[in-house]
Amino acid sequence: MKRLTNDIIYIIPILCGVCSFAALLSAPSEEKNALFFGLSGLRLVLAAFTLAFTVFSCFLYRNRRKKMPALYYLCAAGGITAAQILLFSRFPTDDTRNMIPLIADRAGPLLWCILLSSLCWYTALRLCGAEPPRYFGAFSASAAVIVYWLISTHMAAICWNVRLDGNTAYCAALLFCLALWQLVLNSGMSRGWKTAAGCLFFIVLGFSVTRITGMWMGRVETPPKAYWNELAESFLNGRLDLMHPDGFHDLTQYGGKWYVPNPPLPGILLIPWVLLLGSAEAVNMCIYSAVIAGINAGLLFLMLVLCFTGEGAPLYMPVSDDSAYPGNSLNIAVWVTVLFIFGTDHLWLGTTGQMWFISQLLVGSFTILAFLCVLCRFPPVWAGISLGLGMLCRPNIFPIWLCLLGLWLYQENSGFPRFHLKKTLQWSLKSAAPVIFSVLLQLLYNKLRFDSWTDFGYVTINGADWILRSVQEYGMFHPYFIKTNAKVMLFELPGLDFSGTRFFFQPHVSGYSIVLMTPPLIYAFRSFRKNWFSLGTWASVLLSVGMLLLYHNTGAEQVGYRYLLDILMPLSLLTADGLRGKVSLFFKLLTVFAIVLSFTAIYWWYLGRV
């Protein structure tokens, strides 16, 4: 059956070539440009190239039983080039000097033929067991960056509506960090240095992709409703209210003053930047959120690597050879990191630079740091401090503590269901103390702002009327909200419109199902183990999901279901565990789908909404 499937896959590029050849010859060129049979010179050249491509496809079909590793490089180079030209040709611009739409218009059939053929050949190679060359991943990433740089540099120089400040620097930094990581990986350096180089690469990758995406979408400077930079300036002036807010939406008024209702840590973290740059206006909140997104990418990669290589870690694999990383652990860490940074709402959050979304990005940072503290066997108070800091961004993440406890019990070799009562109580008290202290700080913050320990400012927030009515009638959490939250979280599907009058992807602004947004999450359900780590991780996920189902809003206006990122850390671990030591082709395809959908949704949010 596999051989028959492979034969069919090799036939598809031949059919694509024939169809592309026919499409190129079907419409005659303008009479003034006609050279032969009513076709222009350019059309004849493209037709000749397509014919040669079809002959090459026939050659590959004839040799389909052979493993051809070099074909991987052709698939990567051709597929990446064709995909990016087709992608950027759809970017809205009326500048007639832009060559990208012109190329896509003239050579569209050939480009689609190359793209589909590259995907088919790659799939066929994997099915026949031909392993990718050693540097295939690095080659593909480098090719993607170089092709992007060439296209974007041309468009930035020609099109007035494309502002790509620092584009060349970002691409150069990416190529440098990638080359450095590959150099270190293939050297005799220790695993620590190799992991550090990988973390650096993912930090730069996360920041650069997030920032560049924001620039393409026109999100370059600090947007409205950023607020944290203004709150930092207020803190420096000894005030808790905003002195000169640039707007009032999502703020809470009390005593004639306007306050940011959210917990204050994001504003506190910005104090050094406001001091350094001299004013709140000088802080670019889009860059700030992109920096946090990059840091999250590096921290997530580090956490996943340590989960496989740290002795006593939950996914530990003993090293059976001279490699620094056992089995496919490095491959798993790379793919899961890419999935959760670019295949979820994390990428969109990083482009926004706004109040609510920066808080959620920081939650990811501090929950991963808390897990790293336990993983590296730091004193329990450090894990508690990290989680407590996260709660000073979003208080409802306290269920993550169950995951931390489960990991600690697992590291103590406490075989389920046994555990040492005294040690467990000691660890629990020490780790929970900073968490409780953060709750007290938040209550004190409420008292200082609103003269009430329990008033978080959400009941009187200057927000959407439907959110305000819901929280005033039912409170912050209530079973009444389960139906609406479950619909958006699990069952809401985006609308598709192929009328040609607007962008084809038209979801509702309340978001759509996490099953569609990030389908590789299904692998998390393969991670059921009879140990404390699995129990604690699933308990934290289920409790968090239960709270989100009871919450008074679904996330309001959003690309996907952004609250999923409250449990980014445990979900990424469960997904990595569910892969069971191998990154399958199916997982890769689902991850690519999630990333493409993420970029599509971001385009819709900024440019395609009507």
Question: Contact, 319 vs 326, CB < 8 A?
Answer: yes
- DSSP symbol at 55: H
* Residue-range domain boundaries for the chain: 2-136, 228-608
* pTM metric for this prediction: 0.92
Q: Decide the pairing of beta strands 257-259 and 505-506.
A: unpaired
Amino acid at 391: M
| CA triple 445-450-451, angle to 5 deg | 90
What does 306-336 look like in DSSP terms, one character per residue? Answer: HHHHSTT-TT-----SS-SS-TTHHHHHHHH
Taking residues 451-462, report their average pLDDT.
85
Q: What is the pLDDT of residue 35?
A: 52
State how far Cα 608 lies from the chain centre. 20
Sign of the alpha-carbon torsion through 321, 323, 324, 328: negative
Q: Which residues contact 347 (CB under 8 A, 6 or more apart)?
A: 209, 210, 213, 293, 341, 598, 599, 602
- HSE of 471 in the Cβ direction (CA atoms, 13 Å)? 19
What confidence tens digit (pLDDT) does each residue in 386-425 have?
999 999 999 989 999 999 999 999 988 767 888 888 899 9
Structure-token match 């999935």, residue found: 339
- Collapsed DSSP state (helix, strand, coil) of residue 495: strand
The token pair at 391 is 């709660």
Q: What is the pLDDT of residue 212?
A: 94
Q: What is the pLDDT of residue 317?
A: 74
What confidence tens digit (pLDDT) does each residue in 118-172 have?
999 888 888 877 788 888 888 999 999 999 999 989 888 887 777 887 889 999 9
Taking residues 355-378, report their average pLDDT.
94
For the chain, give the number of residues: 610
| CA triple 187-192-193, angle to 5 deg | 45
What confidence tens digit (pLDDT) does each residue in 63-94 have?
877 777 788 999 999 999 999 999 888 887 76
- DSSP symbol at 164: -
Question: Contact, 208 vs 216, CB < 8 A?
Answer: no
Measured between alpha carbons, how far is 88 from 82 in angstroms, rounded to an integer?
10
What does 403-419 look like in DSSP terms, one character per residue? Answer: HHHHHHHHHTT--TT--
Q: What is the mean pLDDT of the chain?
A: 88
